[in-house]
Amino acid sequence: MEVVGPNTRGDPIVDGHEDLVYDSKLGFCYGESKRQAEAAVLRANGRKLHNGGSLVTCSLRPTYIFGEGSQFLQLHLDQALQNGGVFHRISKKEALANPVYVGNVAWAHVLAARATRDPEAATRIAGNFYYICDDTPHMSYSDLNHVLGRELGLGVEARLPLPFPLLYFLASIMEMISFLLRPIFRFVPPMTRHLLILLNTTFTFSYKKAQRDMGYKPRYTWEEARRLTSTWMAAVLPQRKEELRKK
């Protein structure tokens, strides 16, 4: 979804769709690199192949992916363990996202691949992009961490550590320091303006177009996705505790 935003102003999207006009002035290299990659993929649609056929391409834009093996979840889990069993509040409660379970993202890729091999379906998806999400309830990133971890006894902070404008100012200062130190030292800011806006902007989408064009329907319910992810978190918890203790 970072192909489209959020933009630098943090303009929200609620139940966005593929025909939505949005001021996608990203201003950040991460999203811009994704945009350029997607454009290259879609431009390749229709390219003639050596066997006389034509290449069929489409692009999938999953929202925030959670599930077993998530590096982001593991990072947040480590931080919670170091914070007395409480997840840091990294996003305002009202900044809603619609996370998507990794199994449903994988299923969308399978359906897209099948569609490229079906002449009728290929005509529908060729050169198009699709938002991929599922029926996970809309919630902030911090509250998702809490929902997935509360059966393990993990809590979440009630509010951001500082008011958002002050956090934005501090992120700007850290980016400036990183730029000034670049010739002699690689300093990676723990928080950037882009990440701060991303985590604190309501940004939700619909999967209706993928459902219409390629028959996408989430294979895993929210209850199944939550259970599978929480079970994985419970399995890695003892190991993470031990590794953090040794540090």
User: What is the CB-side half-sphere exposure of residue 7 using CA atoms within 13 A?
Assistant: 9
Render the burial of 165-192: b for 16+ CB within 10 Å, e for the rest: eebbebbeebbeeeeeeeeeeeeebeeb
- Torsions phi, psi of 246, nearest 5? -70, -30
Catalytic residue among 25, 34, 208, 247: 34
* Burial zone of 66 (CB within 10 Å; 0-12 exposed, 13-18 middle, 19+ buried): buried
- Torsions phi, psi of 86, nearest 5? -130, 125
Question: Does 246 participate in catalysis according to the annotation?
Answer: no
Q: Is 65 left (phi over 0), alpha (psi -120 to 50) or beta?
A: beta
H or E stretch including 180?
Answer: helix 164-181
CA distance 137 to 225: 11
Q: Tell me what percent of the chain is helix, strand and coil, each rounded to the nearest 5.
A: 50, 10, 40
Maximum Cα interatomic distance, the chain, rounded to a whole number of Å: 62
- Residues annotated as part of the active site: 34
